Amino acid sequence: MSWLRAALTMEVTTQNATRRSTRLRVEIPVEVTSLDRMRPFADKCVVLVVSAQGCGFRSPQPMQMETPIMLSGLPGGGSVTARVANCLPLGSDGKYFLVGASLYTHGNVWGIVNPPEDWSGAAKGVAGPAKPSPDKAAAASAPKLVVNKKVWPYNLSSAGTEPRGRR
């Protein structure tokens, strides 16, 4: 059964692939734990970029592709499972890595109060528990995330100059 879930969450990307949902630049501290005993990892990390399908977080260690992980300590106290989609060094000193994670269950797990419109359709076709409608008290107590569209990664995609993958 797990192979079926993995097959359903795989995506094929090409250089001309379109983005499935808007990315937002954030700083959310989380605990990242590997769910694979053969690839141990547990550390505090910072999520830097989020979308309805995944995130990019800064890690002190590299992580192997396809490693199943759990991100816990999300806004609201929740957790979510994902897989490592990519891992790139940040700088040349080897101190930090940018790890891309693809969520197994898509949606606004990040606690973004007013998510982009294209996030609402992100969970279509993905089986998962029904989410309760947010009440006004919960929305008022949620942390407000400020988005500055003039800084990375927005300044790259808005001008159509997003970097392409390495060959």
The shares of helix, strand and coil residues in the chain, as percent rounded to the nearest 5, are 15, 30, 55
Mean pLDDT within 9-13? 38
Q: What is the pLDDT of residues 92-105, one digit of tens each?
A: 888 999 999 999 99
pLDDT at 10 over 80: no
Q: What is the pTM of this model?
A: 0.63
CA distances, 37 to each of 5, 42, 75, 101, 133 (Å): 20, 11, 27, 18, 36
Distance CA 136, CA 133 (A): 10
For domain 20-109+134-146, which architecture applies?
Beta Barrel (2.40)
- List the chain domain ranges: 20-109+134-146
